[in-house]
Amino acid sequence: MNDVLARFDSTRLPRVNGARLWASLERMAQIGATPKGGVCRLALSELDRESRDLFVTWANDAGCSIRVDQMGNIFARRAGRQPDAAPVVTGSHADSQPTGGKYDGIYGVLGGLEVVRALNDAGVETERPVDVVIWTNEEGSRFAPAMVASGVFAGAFSLDFALSRKDATGTTIGEALQAIGYAGSEPASGFPVHAFFELHIEQGAVLERAGKTIGVVTAGQGQRWYELTFRGTDAHAGTTPMELRRDALVGAARVIDFVDQLGLQHSPHGRATVGMIEARPNSRNTVPGECFFTIEFRHPESAVLDAMDASMRDAVQRISFAQNLEVEITQIFDYAPVPFAPECVNAVRQAARTLGLPHQDIVSGAGHDACYIARVAPSGMIFIPCVGGLSHNEAEAITPEWATAGADVLLHAVAEAAGICCADV
């Protein structure tokens, strides 16, 4: 990635201080701690402010300068030998789900901070600056949509649109930023980034089941969301013969089974889900005359998503005809697959090899800020396992060993991208 690398042996890079990283994670988890061991730290709440303040304090202690943009994204910069060079950026988010885990997002932030601390401890100077970022409102649990601030950075959303998003009480993102003191003055539309790496827990069970410590994330799943409505005829459940019914719920049930089979057909990366269903009039002794439900497809290849779309539409038409139903299909979301930059993927893979860590390529099934940043900068992700694949849950757990391993891989990847210029590393 950087020809400066030819001047040093990556096996002689420092390691992170795993005990310090774990202590930072545990201290941060006290902010918004829940009785069941998780966190509730909603975006731009007072608890979010407290977590941001703590991060800024730690980053200042590590010698970083702090910048805050108009979306409240925090950039803590460790200076490089070339101060005007595009930085290497790493980080994630600090906000959580209402009943979230204490590692989702914040592990990537504090892992990035630990990289800075480890470079400081070893007296390592980089050619490029290194920024550690907290992205605002990744989760989307208080303000929709999710990943809105990294989306503004990447040009996916306008600043006005993002600042006007409201929570359930009518408070906008712009008002909430002002209230907690994180309405920054730096432009939110982004700046040149040499490379971006996001360290994250997997939020699934693939790595743990495979006995791998590191997931080399090659891509993010594309997503397509649909809303479907079958319309038949409300009818008396006791007096209407089976052959005369126009049962919208039966039609939906047959589509749901087809969607499930479609996901299995496109394994291992295919995902097909019906997550919402509403039968109307929803009475126990009335044949449902209308049924609304949702379909979601995920896959890292657009061609496969196209095939799933076509198969689903064909099945819906066949089923609606067979059941004598009217049907309405609306596609409401189309999120293209995100291939991560080969140079970033290779840097992560090589780091895992150098460190002797069991690893495998993996596709991210969830959306992450890196998926938007990949639009404007070479980007990659590093996954570590989480116990039982459990996430967005207060029982979410990782081990100190996994946390340390992921941060060590991040250190190597960041060092490769930023370029080491200290001759005695």
Q: So what's the pLDDT on residue 332?
A: 86
Summarize the confidence of residues 342-361 as an average pLDDT: 98
In a domain, 272, yes or no: yes
Q: So what's the pLDDT on residue 367?
A: 85
Q: Which residue among 335, 353, 380 closes a domain?
A: 335
pTM of this prediction?
A: 0.86
Q: Is residue 271 scored above 50 in pLDDT?
A: yes
Q: Which of 12, 110, 4 is nearest to 58 (CA)?
A: 110
Q: Is residue 424 scored above 60 in pLDDT?
A: no
Residues 299 and 351 occupy one common structural domain: no
Residues 390 and 244 occupy one common structural domain: no
Residues 197 and 157 occupy one common structural domain: yes
Unique residue bearing structure tokens 């080969």: 342
Q: Is residue 209 scored above 80 in pLDDT?
A: yes
Q: With H, G, I as helix, E, B as strand and everything else as coil, classify residue 80.
A: coil
Cβ–Cβ < 8 Å for 385, 398: yes
Instruction: Give percent of the chain with pLDDT exceeding 90.
Output: 92
Residues 177 and 84 occupy one common structural domain: yes
In a domain, 392, yes or no: yes
Q: So what's the pLDDT on residue 10?
A: 62
Q: Is residue 358 scored above 50 in pLDDT?
A: yes
> Could you tell me which residues are beta bridge partners of residue 95?
none
Q: Taking each helix axis from N to C terminus, what angle separates 342-354 and 400-418, rounded to the nearest 10 degrees? A: 130
Q: So what's the pLDDT on residue 5?
A: 40
Q: pLDDT by residue (tens digit) across 119-129?
A: 999 999 999 99
Residues 153 and 294 occupy one common structural domain: no
Q: Which two tokens stand for residue 248?
A: 């919208």
- C-alpha angle with apex 360: 355 to 362, nearest 5 degrees? 130
Residues 156 and 36 occupy one common structural domain: yes
> Could you tell me which residues are beta bridge partners of residue 382?
199, 216
Q: Is residue 249 scored above 50 in pLDDT?
A: yes
For 310, the domain range is: 222-335
In a domain, 374, yes or no: yes
In a domain, 99, yes or no: yes
Residues 281 and 197 occupy one common structural domain: no
Q: Is residue 8 scored above 70 in pLDDT?
A: no
Summarize the confidence of residues 40-55 as an average pLDDT: 98
Please report, for the domain that includes residue 319, its CATH number.
Answer: 3.30.70.360
Q: pLDDT by residue (tens digit) across 380-413?
A: 999 999 999 999 999 999 999 999 999 999 999 9
Q: Confidence band (pLDDT; 50, 70, 90) for 417?
A: very high
Q: Which residues contact 350 (CB under 8 A, 6 or more apart)?
A: 10, 412, 416
Residues 207 and 300 occupy one common structural domain: no
Q: Which residue among 279, 301, 335 closes a domain?
A: 335
d(CA 306, CA 311): 9
What does pLDDT average to over the chain?
95
Q: How many residues does the chain have?
A: 425
Q: Which residue among 335, 368, 390 closes a domain?
A: 335
In a domain, 424, yes or no: no
Distance (Å) of CA 149 to CA 184, 189, 342: 13, 9, 25
Summarize the confidence of residues 100-128 as an average pLDDT: 97
Residues 331 and 346 occupy one common structural domain: no
Q: Is residue 11 scored above 80 in pLDDT?
A: no
Summarize the confidence of residues 301-315 as an average pLDDT: 97
Q: So what's the pLDDT on residue 398?
A: 98
d(CA 206, CA 388): 9
Residues 16 and 136 occupy one common structural domain: yes
Residues 393-405 as b/e (b if ≥16 CB within 10 A, e otherwise) read bbebbbeeebbbb
Question: Which long-range CB contacts under 8 A does 122-126 form with residues at least 24 apart?
Answer: 122/13, 122/14, 122/425, 123/422, 124/13, 124/14, 124/415, 124/420, 124/422, 124/425, 125/80, 125/81, 125/420, 125/421, 125/422, 126/78, 126/80, 126/81, 126/88, 126/415, 126/418, 126/419, 126/420, 126/421
In a domain, 110, yes or no: yes
Please report, for the domain that includes residue 404, its CATH number.
Answer: 3.40.630.10
Q: Which two tokens stand for residue 227?
A: 């809303």
In a domain, 423, yes or no: no
> Could you tell me which residues are beta bridge partners of residue 133?
75, 91
Residues 297 and 380 occupy one common structural domain: no
d(CA 366, CA 217): 12
DSSP classification of residue 409: H
In a domain, 425, yes or no: no
Residues 329 and 368 occupy one common structural domain: no
d(CA 342, CA 144): 31
Number of separate domains in the chain: 2
Q: What is the 3-state secondary structure (H, E, C) of 90-158?
A: EEEECCCCCCECCCCCHHHHHHHHHHHHHHHHHCCCECCCEEEEEECCCCCCCCCCCCHHHHHHCCCCC
